[in-house]
A and B are shown apart, each in its own frame.
Chain A
Amino acid sequence: MSENTITFEIDGVEVQGAPGQTIMQAADAAGIYIPRLCAFEGLPPHGSCRICTVKVNGRFQSSCTQPVAEGIIVENDTEEILEFRRNLVDMLFVEGNHFCMFCEKSGNCELQALAYRLGITAPKYPFMFPANRTVDASHKDIFIDHNRCILCARCIRASRDLDGKNVFQFVGRGPEKHIAVNARARLVDTEVDVTDKAVEVCPVGAILRKHVGYAIPVGKRKYDHAPIGSDIEAQKH
């Protein structure tokens, strides 16, 4: 065992990581899926959605930000944590206006796929039906539907760190918090481009390329046949 290997445990399974890795990164490499929404490979961790919360030596931690450490005991796939995640996903659904039945992201949506994986058939919390969510369709190739935004900040980080543009940022607080663009009002006034990573990384149907719609038939969408996380679990040795 090299001195650069850190050995720890996830749900009783011995896992090895490297110094500087997060628990999520080490779990991914070991073929253990930890559900997530704001985390995205290639983007710095944000730790905001809390879906990837695990218990580390009995304490709740977000696995996308928590580094691995020798001998830690991580709980991931336990009923307590699953219920915690269900509640979070549930709240994300009721907090926005998510109408999967006609959303073009259906079948490719990480929020929807996560709900299916967690066994959520209908929200248990009352719908809030926020009325302050708008659609910005001013750009010829891209549109933003704030009804579906879950404030994961992937677009903010991708625009800043990968596209070098800083097109998106958060404004407002509490229920008023939302994604805004770095222009006076509309997406068309920014330097965003349809090929930007920021457009690609949205986990839900909030930032979409125009005129694509339902081009992928039912049956060929990303999560039509295997639940979210299956690609990671397929890495299991």
Chain B
Amino acid sequence: MQDTQDLKRIVIEPVTRVEGHGKVTILLDEQNRVKQARLHIVEFRGFERFIQGRPYWEAPVLVQRLCGICPVSHHLAAAKAMDMIVGVDTLTPTAEKMRRLMHYGQIFQSHALHFFHLASPDLLFGFDADVAIRNVIGVAAKHKDLAVQGVMMRKFGQEIIKATAGKKIHGTGAIPGGINKNLTIEERDSFLKDIDQMREWSRGAVKIAKDYTVENLEAIAPFGSFDSNHLSLIREDGAMDLYHGNLRAIDAQGNKIFDQVECTQYLDYIAEEVRDWSYMKFPFIKSIGPENGWYRVGPLARVNACDFIDTPEAEAARKEFMAVTDGKPNNLTMAYHWARMIEVLHSIEKMHELLEDADLQGTDLVVKGERRPEGIGLLEAPRGTLFHHYRVDENDQVTMANLIVSTTSNNEPMNRAVTKVAMDHISGKPEISEGLLNHIEVAIRAYDPCLSCATHALGKMPLVVRLVDAEGNEVAKKST
């Protein structure tokens, strides 16, 4: 490790909270050249520990408290693991489809929130636009239609979650072996009346993201970008499947590193490295090793890794997306936004399909089986592949929990993006403006980690930046 004692240090703290309290440190030499840039997640979350001793059926409800943004992901991943614990391999059609509806509702609302309220200020006004307008209030003032669409799309997804999980946040719908309710005709009809509008807005969102990417391709192509591996769940026929599938990893050129790996085998393919400066681990593909085996997850990885999308409009959008890189994986950090909106379109198409399926009104909700000691549940959360792994003893108490959350998988990529942006935009600059700092946030935000928090949506991302000289004296301090 290089000697960093004599370097100047910029600290961005907190980047935000959620999933972990984050900060960015940038080390500069005498000429303000960037020597090192890191995103640290410095908060310790104890869920893997304090689920221990609890009865297994509590896991889907307890562990989802990790997060208030996409708790449905943890709820469903834990429920899938608990299906295995109670010896159930196949749910009833009603249970499977209710859970899928819940999941697509969540993807829809989470992506809509991110795109319209968290990311759009950067895309609409520019990375270094006046901070007074570069926020959701600014979007509402200048692009009222988009702000309203964001709110209404999020509401639609949240209502779907409420109808399937019982509550908009932290529901109880998915239980080991099934679901605790079906969808009433009244609930179904209340969604179907809005579905065409939601589809229309989703198409519009894809167009905004696509136009932004294509029109600014020259500028954003190098922005925080780098080649990487990509990991995603894939259906057996190669289709994108956000709720269930097998693992596929591809390299930056699209070559398969592994494919159709059963979820239960994940430990044979994925390992995690601990580094002493972050509480967040660094997962990597075992066969390649920690140096080069890191990978990206989330919308970009999923659109890159799948062979096709099984809904027509999203598939057409995917083809347009892949055409930009001649069918090869797209490795641009800023392309996450476009991929994310393709998933929004896919989710509303899937919800439309499901809502017209009479199985949702079925009454056969739960299957029982023979108890097993171990359960593994994976799914594609809005931010990427989510792993839940539990062991349960003969008294029905959890003895071990291992979670690999999406933001953890994107840890190394986000660090790379931060480093790249710091090198390209901050290195050598005599003055570090708020706009320059926002470039770093824009790169982090593209991954939609839990770090792009609600406070940012109000234009008050709580950033404090201190410029400290080699003796530790504060040279400058800025807060947004």
**Residues of A at under 8 Å CB distance from B?**
101-102, 104, 135, 137-138, 143, 210-220
Contacts and interface: CB of A to CB of B under 8 A. Distances in A.
A214 B167 CA distance: 13
A214 B172 contact: yes
B180 interface: yes
Contacts of A138: 395
Contacts of A135: 53-55, 397
A3 B71 CA distance: 63
B17 interface: no
Nearest to A135: B53
A102 B65 contact: yes
A223 to B, nearest CB: 14
Candidate in A104, A215, A217, A220 with the most chain B CB atoms within 10 angstroms: A217
A218 B171 contact: yes
B55 A214 contact: no
A213 B175 contact: yes
Interface in B173-228: 173, 175-176, 180-181
Contacts of B62: 102
Given A135-B397, A137-B396, A137-B397, A218 B166 contact: yes
A139 to B, nearest CB: 8
28 contacts: A101-B65, A101-B170, A104-B58, A104-B61, A135-B53, A135-B55, A135-B397, A137-B397, A211-B86, A211-B176, A212-B57, A213-B55, A213-B57, A213-B61, A213-B175, A214-B60, A214-B61, A214-B175, A214-B180, A215-B180, A217-B166, A217-B181, A218-B165, A218-B166, A218-B171, A218-B172, A219-B181, A220-B181
B53 to A, nearest CB: 6
Contacts of B366: 215
Interface string B221-239: 0000000000000000000
A104 B165 CA distance: 14
Interface residues of B, number: 25
Given A101-B65, A104-B58, A211-B57, A217 B396 contact: no
A210 B180 contact: no
A143 B167 CA distance: 27
B170 A213 contact: no
Contacts of A214: 57, 60-61, 172, 175, 180
Given A101-B65, A137-B396, 12 more contacts: A102-B65, A104-B58, A135-B53, A135-B54, A143-B55, A210-B55, A213-B175, A214-B61, A214-B172, A214-B175, A215-B366, A217-B180
B176 A213 contact: yes
Contacts of A215: 175, 180, 366
A137 B165 CA distance: 27
Contacts of A211: 57, 86, 176, 396
Interface string B440-469: 000000000000000000000000000000
Contacts of A217: 166, 172-173, 180-181
B51 to A, nearest CB: 10
Nearest first, the 10 A-B pairs at minimum CB distance are A218-B166, A213-B57, A214-B172, A217-B181, A137-B395, A102-B62, A217-B180, A102-B61, A217-B166, A137-B397
Nearest to A214: B172
B396 A210 contact: yes
Nearest to A137: B395
B99 to A, nearest CB: 13
A215 B176 CA distance: 9
